[in-house]
Amino acid sequence: MSDWPLLTSIIVPPHSEGFGVGATLPSASYLERMVRFLAAAERIGAVGAFVYDFPAAMDPWLVAFDVLNESVALQPVVAVRPHQEAAESVSRRVADLTGRFGRPAHVNVVAGATRSARAPGEAQDPVAARRLLGDYARDIRAGIDGRLGPRGERPLIVTPSSRTPGTVVPADCVLMMARPREQLGADIARVRAEQGAERIAMLVGFVVRDTRAEAWAATTRLYPADRRQVIAGRMFVSQVVSSEHTGSYALAEQSDVHDGHLWYGAPNRGIDAPKLVGSVADAAAWLRSCRELGVTDLIIDLVPDPAEYDRIGDVLHATG
């Protein structure tokens, strides 16, 4: 098996009928669906499982427990925010889950993509919010290391890329959405210079079929026009303060397609990461070019059907 990506991750599905829309699922139905996604992801060698605090979601730490309990090798990456949970509490949860299951739980230190997700005043002073995030990440790392010591695989601290100048957020890996390769290369160089992080995780969706034409045809079936999702996307964008999301939405406004294969035209544009559309060979070639630009880790955006993971696995195998 190739040593790239260093870590392949998925997004754990939300506790609702659809992403950002629909009623909350009964717990038994949600768990059944999640288990199907986890099993399919493990078949292609995924290890990371990003857990976000979606509006219609269980407590992320409960979901993290379910990920560990219902999978063989998956490791949750839990989104945490400084105004919601103390660093000491986060460190304890990470250490306890890691010790309980014998494989690490990781954290994704985020400020929140929208105004409503942030503490009062943070959206008006992004530099201060960034400074707070940096202190939070340091405290979490110190707490984890103090509780776990040198034993076992070290839990990771991940944080999204940001254009806010100033404070370094100490992280093992910086996350960024996929973007056109010229911009991707420049942003990776900037992040490494500013943050000092070697690991760069790229979040991207996939629509892969045997041929390029079949893949583009599949986009309308997998992501049909949905007025609810369009409205949810617009509402989300109206509240966005994250530079990652505003940058992605600006690219979507410029064109539905960039680099020939990077599609921004899904109904929930502004929320989702762009999708890599094409044949297995097309997708593998595009990923290889991203690897050459410095991407080290891969996060597969939420798929509408766990059967899609098998096709993505073919891409990972072809990437080499």
pLDDT at 235: 62
**Percent of the chain at pLDDT exceeding 90:** 64
Residue 202 lies in a domain: yes
Is residue 249 included in any domain, yes or no?
Answer: no
Find the domain containing 21 and state its range.
Answer: 8-206+280-319
User: Which residue(s) pair with 9 in the sheet?
Assistant: 48, 299
Q: What pLDDT sits at residue 18? A: 59
Question: Using only C-alpha atoms, what is the Rg of the chain?
Answer: 18
Buried b (16+ CB within 10 A) or exposed e, 266-285: bbbbbbbbbbbbbbbebbbe
Question: Lowest-confidence range among 80-94, 174-188, 261-275, 296-310?
Answer: 261-275
How many domains does the chain fold into?
A: 1
State mean pLDDT over 36-40: 97
**More reliable by pLDDT, 3 or 23:** 3
Nearest to 60 by CA among 123, 104, 108: 108
Highest mean pLDDT among 40-44, 111-115, 189-193: 40-44
Grade residue 262 by pLDDT with cuts at 50, 70 and 90: very high
**Most confident by average pLDDT, 10-19, 160-169, 298-307:** 298-307
Q: Are 174 and 202 in contact (CB under 8 A)?
A: no
Q: Is residue 28 part of a domain?
A: yes
Q: What is the mean pLDDT of the chain?
A: 87
Mean pLDDT of 83-103: 95
**DSSP code per residue over 202-270:** EEEEEEEESSHHHHHHHHHHHS---HHHHHHHHHHHHHB--HHHHHHHHHHHH-SEETTTEE--STTBT
Domain assignment present for residue 20? The answer is yes
The CATH number that applies at residue 44 is 3.20.20.30
Q: Higher pLDDT residue, 154 or 55?
A: 154
User: Does residue 117 lie in a domain region?
Assistant: yes
Of residues 250 and 75, more confidently modeled: 75
| Per-residue confidence band for 21, with pLDDT thresholds at 50, 70 and 90 | low
pTM: 0.88
In this model, does residue 107 exceed pLDDT 60?
yes
Q: How confident is the model over 99-109, as a mean pLDDT?
A: 96
In-domain check, residue 41: yes
- 311 domain-assigned: yes
pLDDT for residue 296? 98
Residue 70 has pLDDT above 60, yes or no: yes
Average pLDDT over residues 266-289: 88
pLDDT of residue 109: 95
1: confidence class by pLDDT, cuts 50, 70, 90: very low
pLDDT of residue 75 exceeding 70, the answer is yes
Confirm whether 104 is domain-assigned.
yes
The pLDDT tens digits for 215-256 are 999 999 998 876 666 655 666 555 555 566 677 677 878 889
In this predicted structure, the answer to whether residue 304 has a pLDDT above a threshold of 80 is yes
- Residue that wins the pLDDT comparison between 277 and 15: 277
Q: Which residues contact 54 (CB under 8 A, 6 or more apart)?
A: 14, 15, 16, 19, 20
155-212: per-residue pLDDT in tens? 999 999 988 776 789 999 999 999 999 999 999 999 999 888 999 999 999 999 999 9
Q: What mean pLDDT is predicted for residues 127-146?
A: 92
pLDDT for position 298: 98
